[in-house]
Amino acid sequence: MVLFRLRQGVFGAPLVPMSQSVLLHSYPKEQHGSAMAIWGVGVMVGPILGPTLGGYLTEVFNWRWVFYINLPVGILTILGLSAFLSESCLRNINFD
């Protein structure tokens, strides 16, 4: 369980800077402030709802559901990014 929690943290850590990069490349400069404000709400609400949802899932179902809940969220994220992120935008972004 500790190994999988470690893997979850290692692979989840790059999500914040990557999401900011996708966000700033998806919106024009005039809307960067509004987009970052909405993104910031999600960043603030996540740590509040995460432990609450995790405690509920552990109490009602099983502790394994704390890990299983990430699978549908990850699939929806990949589908959403592939639907809304244009192909040309992917080629012009440098990783560095």
Q: What is the pLDDT of residues 44-85, one digit of tens each?
A: 998 898 889 888 888 999 888 888 888 998 899 899 878 877
- Does residue 76 lie within any of the structural domains? yes
Question: Structurally, how many domains does the chain consist of?
Answer: 1
Which of 35, 66, 71, 42 is CA-nearest to residue 52? 66
- Does residue 53 lie within any of the structural domains? yes
- Does residue 2 lie within any of the structural domains? no
- Does residue 12 lie within any of the structural domains? no
Q: Say if residue 46 is exposed, middle or buried (CB neighbours under 10 Å; 0-12, 13-18, 19+).
A: exposed
Q: Record the pTM.
A: 0.56
85: domain range? 33-96
Task: Return the pLDDT at 50.
Answer: 85
Whole-angstrom distance, CA of residue 22 vs CA of residue 32: 11
- Does residue 51 lie within any of the structural domains? yes
- Does residue 23 lie within any of the structural domains? no
Measured CA distances, 5 to 37, 42, 68, 85 (Å): 29, 22, 12, 29
Whole-angstrom distance, CA of residue 45 vs CA of residue 61: 23
